[in-house]
């Protein structure tokens, strides 16, 4: 038998599997360099305060929700509720624990949000889909109500708002736009890195198994309930930190109303439009949701400012934005990140078809 076997070509003999050594990701390094060095040097207050910081925070919130909804398949409309927990918990820690450094307060706020998320994730053991969504809706309203009702949470301020305490890190003030931007960026980069590795790990694979079919996942021995609760906890941790950054690095103030159901929907839209089950999708989605209206506004002002009735112009922008969402979702239901991927594949062979 062996004598008759045709010899394989040498290369196949040597390497039955093509192993590609991973190169140092040059593009990523460049991106980080731009984000950490170039933007703080070049960006003015408008870019940092009004565009980059909210974009980064919303990306982080999208990432948090994507871990739960995109990777584990548990739909949630309570994202903003957990953001509120993070914001109010961080505020409480900074206010009431003397001498606590900012990073520790942020982590503490995240952990408190994670604990609450796990608590509200318990029903996921028994209920699924739309019914689970209703429990997260309950969480959203419950949390919002708690932070409006009990003045202890906002330190008895007459207006029910919390405002950023001194933002300091090792004695350096982070109150300037550049400081707040770097704080946000560091948090986002660190947490994105963790998330990328998390979804590649055993935990992430278990989550995806549960998302794809939880019965099958249980059959192959994955403790489904535990991993669902873990997903709720990790997701809420991310959302909690995003909430704290939203309140202190971006707005500078927050009340229960800053984290209402509309914020939850906004974050849900970010992951739906950006791409479920994708890390990069959160950034693309957040860019679309937060930056597109600003772009349209500038474009409208530049083209028609002063000529067309201001109210009509605003409504026109809304219509255009809505239309764009519909067009993109029809064109690519898997989100913008898929659209970008397709475009990249096309460009690789352009102008040929294959």
Partner 1 sequence: MTLNATLKHSATALALALGLYSALPQPALAAATEQFFPLATYRVGAYASSGIPVWAGMIDYLRYINEVEGGINGVKLVWQECETEWTAEKGIECYERFKHGLEGAPVAVYQPNGAPAAYALGDKAAADRIPLITLGYGRTEATDGSVFPYNFPAMLTFYSEASAFINYVAEREGGLDKLKGKKIATVYHDSAYGRETQAPLRLLAEKYGFENIQIPVADPGNEQASQWRQVRQLKPDWVFLRTWGVSTPVAIKTAARFGYPVDHIIGDIWASSNEDVLPAGEMGKGYLALTPYPGGASFDIHQRIKQHILDQGKSDLKDPKSFGSVYYNSGLVNAAIAVEAIRAGQKKFGNRPLNGEEGRWGLEHLNLDDARLKEIGFLGLMQPLKLSCDDHEGGGAAKVQQWDGKQWNLITDWVQADRQTLRPLIDAKSAEYAKEKGVQARKCAVEQ
Nearest to 153 by CA among 249, 218, 89, 94: 89
Query: Binding partner 1 by CB under 8 A: which of 115, 269, 304, 328?
Result: 304
Nearer to partner 1, 216 or 303 (CB): 303
Nearest to 200 by CA among 211, 208, 189: 208
User: Which tokens belong to 26?
Assistant: 């040059």
Query: Binding partner 1 by CB under 8 A: which of 75, 133, 160, 339?
Result: 160
Query: Does the protein bind partner 1 through residue 280 (CB under 8 A)?
Result: no
Query: Does the protein bind partner 1 through residue 66 (CB under 8 A)?
Result: no
Query: Does the protein bind partner 1 through residue 258 (CB under 8 A)?
Result: yes
Query: Does the protein bind partner 1 through residue 353 (CB under 8 A)?
Result: no
- Give the shortest CB-309-to-partner 1 separation in angstroms: 8
Q: Which residues contact 154 (CB under 8 A, 6 or more apart)?
A: 88, 91, 147, 160, 161, 162, 255
Query: Binding partner 1 by CB under 8 A: which of 3, 4, 159, 349?
Result: 159
- Give the shortest CB-333-to-partner 1 separation in angstroms: 25
Sole residue written with tokens 């994105």: 192
> Of residues 35-64, which lie at the interface with partner 1 (CB under 8 A)?
45-46, 49-51, 54
Query: Does the protein bind partner 1 through residue 219 (CB under 8 A)?
Result: no
Q: List the alpha helices (DSSP H) in 122-260.
A: 129-149, 177-200, 202-212, 214-219, 224-245
- Give the shortest CB-307-to-partner 1 separation in angstroms: 5
Query: Does the protein bind partner 1 through residue 323 (CB under 8 A)?
Result: no
Query: Binding partner 1 by CB under 8 A: which of 197, 201, 202, 314?
Result: 314
Query: Does the protein bind partner 1 through residue 137 (CB under 8 A)?
Result: no
- For residues 190 and 184, give the distance between their C-alpha atoms in angstroms, rounded to a whole number: 10
Nearer to partner 1, 213 or 310 (CB): 310
**Bridge-partner residues for 172, per DSSP?**
169
- For residues 165 and 87, give the distance between their C-alpha atoms in angstroms, rounded to a whole number: 12
Query: Does the protein bind partner 1 through residue 307 (CB under 8 A)?
Result: yes
Query: Does the protein bind partner 1 through residue 303 (CB under 8 A)?
Result: yes
Query: Does the protein bind partner 1 through residue 315 (CB under 8 A)?
Result: yes
Nearer to partner 1, 136 or 258 (CB): 258
- Give the shortest CB-109-to-partner 1 separation in angstroms: 17
Query: Binding partner 1 by CB under 8 A: which of 219, 310, 327, 343?
Result: 310
Query: Binding partner 1 by CB under 8 A: which of 311, 347, 348, 352?
Result: 311
Query: Does the protein bind partner 1 through residue 252 (CB under 8 A)?
Result: yes
- For residues 203 and 111, give the distance between their C-alpha atoms in angstroms, rounded to a whole number: 19
Rama region for 294: left / alpha / beta (φ>0; ψ in -120 to 50; rest): alpha
What angle (nearest 5°) sits at the alpha carbon of residue 251, between those of residues 55 and 83?
70
Total count of residues recorded for the chain: 354
Applying CB under 8 A, which part among 104-112, 150-158, 274-282, 326-334 lies near partner 1? 150-158
- For residues 325 and 167, give the distance between their C-alpha atoms in angstroms, rounded to a whole number: 37
Query: Does the protein bind partner 1 through residue 152 (CB under 8 A)?
Result: no
Nearest to 58 by CA among 342, 290, 328, 326: 290
Largest CA distance in the chain: 91
Please give the C-alpha separations between residue 20 and each of 15, 23, 25, 38, 200, in angstroms, as whole numbers. 11, 9, 13, 32, 18
Which helix (H) or strand (E) segment holds residue 53: the answer is helix 53-66
Query: Does the protein bind partner 1 through residue 101 (CB under 8 A)?
Result: no
Positions touching partner 1 (CB under 8 A) are 45-46, 49-51, 54, 95, 148, 155, 157-161, 163-166, 175, 250-253, 255, 257-258, 294, 297, 301, 303-307, 310-311, 314-315, 317-318
């Amino acid at each position: 038998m062996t004598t008759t076997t045709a010899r394989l070509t040498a290369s196949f003999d040597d390497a039955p599997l093509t192993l590609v050594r991973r190169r140092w990701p040059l593009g990523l390094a460049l991106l980080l360099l731009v984000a950490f060095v170039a933007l703080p040097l070049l960006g003015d207050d408008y870019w940092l305060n009004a565009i980059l910081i909210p974009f980064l925070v919303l990306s982080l919130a999208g990432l948090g929700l994507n871990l739960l909804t995109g990777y584990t398949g548990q739909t949630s409309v309570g994202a903003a509720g957990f953001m509120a927990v993070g914001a109010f918990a961080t505020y409480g820690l900074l206010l009431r624990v003397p001498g606590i450094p900012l990073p520790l307060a942020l982590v503490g706020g995240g952990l408190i949000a994670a604990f609450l998320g796990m608590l509200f994730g318990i029903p996921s053991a028994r209920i699924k889909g739309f019914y689970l969504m209703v429990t997260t809706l309950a969480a959203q309203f419950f949390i919002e109500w708690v932070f409006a009702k009990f003045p202890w949470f906002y330190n008895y301020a007459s207006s029910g708002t919390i405002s950023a305490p001194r933002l300091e890190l090792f004695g350096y003030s982070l109150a300037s736009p550049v400081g707040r931007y770097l704080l946000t960026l560091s948090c986002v980069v660190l947490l994105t890195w963790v998330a990328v590795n998390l979804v590649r790990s055993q935990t992430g694979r278990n989550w995806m198994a549960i998302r794809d079919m939880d019965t099958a996942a249980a059959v192959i021995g994955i403790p489904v309930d535990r991993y669902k609760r873990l997903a709720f906890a990790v997701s809420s941790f991310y959302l909690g930190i995003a909430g704290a950054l939203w309140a202190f690095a971006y707005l500078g103030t927050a009340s229960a109303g800053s984290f209402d159901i509309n914020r939850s929907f906004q974050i849900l839209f970010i992951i739906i439009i950006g791409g479920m089950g994708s890390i990069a999708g959160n950034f693309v989605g957040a860019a679309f949701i937060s930056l597109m209206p600003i772009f349209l506004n500038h474009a409208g002002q530049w083209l028609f400012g002063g000529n067309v009735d201001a109210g009509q112009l605003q409504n026109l922008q809304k219509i255009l934005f809505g239309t764009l969402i519909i067009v993109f979702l029809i064109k690519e239901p898997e989100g913008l990140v898929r659209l970008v991927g397709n475009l990249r594949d096309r460009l690789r062979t352009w102008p040929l078809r294959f």
